[in-house]
Amino acid sequence: MIALRLAFAALALTFCIAQAHAEGVVNQQISFTSHDGAVLAGTLTMPGGMVEKVPALVLLQGSGPTDRDSNQPPVLRTDLLRQIAEGLAQKGIATLRYDKRGMHANAPGLPTDPKDYAAYFDWQRFVDDAYAAYAFLRAQPSVDLHKTGIAGHSEGGMIALDLAARLQDREKPAMLVLMATAGRPLDVIVREQLERQLSAVKPAQKRAFLAENDRVVREIRDTGKVPEKLPQALNGLYPFYSGPFWQAQLKLDPAELARRYPGPVLLVQGEADIQISADRDATALDNALKRRAEDDHTLILLPRTSHALKVLQNDKDPGFEGEIDPALIERMATWLLSKTVKP
């Protein structure tokens, strides 16, 4: 049970020298240990000059080989989570973010035998990692455990929802922040994304390719294994070891998980996001949260804003680079501080 795992994370705290990178911000390089013994490196970002315990968030990045700052160097650099962490620290809110298992600073932990990848990268491992980070953050003497929540971007939002549903009442996060998070099952979203990418392909070829994707999804859902024969274009989407990871995600209904969470929720969604739909996903989450007996949630829709929560400068801007809108940080901080009241 996840609820019984607090001790392993609390006993595995390791600090390195603190470094300040922005005014009023202190970054500490840390590491913590997950349930399977994986040691994960991260950054604890604290407000400078603290005089009392502060609210705090675990920050979970999106899909792929993404680091703690929301980058996939050298190809993709958004710095989304770093900007959020340092912006919130200036408002008096602490955060913890970390590199994914087996990647970036955690690359030495990658199994040497590819046959072990399926177990190492199982969805449950990523949920366990998020729990270990959450337990680590709650154990910090400068953090108020009654005011500690989880924020996830894209896939990180799915992990946040899954983890929150598994925790017992005494451990549930004080709040959730879901940024560009799916509101519909993953297979629906992936198919939608593929259809958009195939918009210039001949209709017959498009139908055939989507049918192949549907076949792969069915087999993964039924067996937990990726089929041996894949169209080359799908190899990157479904690596040979990713069957258990995909199977678990395909079972999740994010809107239902959101409805079951009893605490405050902040939804942040860019209206120009081409990966997660403001109309279909943010609306699904919004409607699910409204159905709660005691609803407490806010939806922030951001005009001309991308999946990486960056304001588009023009029609050709992919929305990866640049600074996050300071007004968004202000709105997030205001919401968080208004919800961090002890029970």
Strand 14-19 vs strand 25-33: parallel, antiparallel, or unpaired? antiparallel
- pLDDT for the residue 295: 96
- pLDDT for the residue 23: 72
DSSP for residue 102: T
Q: What residues of the chain score a pLDDT lower than 50?
A: 1-20, 343
Domain 2-183+252-339 carries which CATH code?
A: 3.40.50.1820
Separation of alpha carbons 168 and 143, rounded Å: 20
Q: In the chain, list all ranges with CATH 3.40.50.1820.
A: 2-183+252-339
- pLDDT for the residue 51: 75
pLDDT in tens, 270-326: 999 999 999 999 999 999 999 999 999 999 999 999 999 999 999 999 999 999 999
Separation of alpha carbons 7 and 135, rounded Å: 8
Query: 218 and 285 in contact (C-beta within 8 Å)?
Result: no
Separation of alpha carbons 15 and 235, rounded Å: 39
Q: Residue 215 has which token pair?
A: 């076949």
- pLDDT for the residue 22: 66
3-state secondary structure (DSSP) of residue 145: strand
DSSP for residue 279: I
- Per-residue buried b or exposed e for 174-211, using 16+ beta carbons within 10 Å of the residue's own CB: bbbbbbbbbbbbbbebbebebeeebeeeeeeebeebee
**Beta bridge pairs of residue 34:** none
3-state secondary structure (DSSP) of residue 214: helix
- pLDDT for the residue 341: 57
CB atoms within 10 A of CB 7: 10
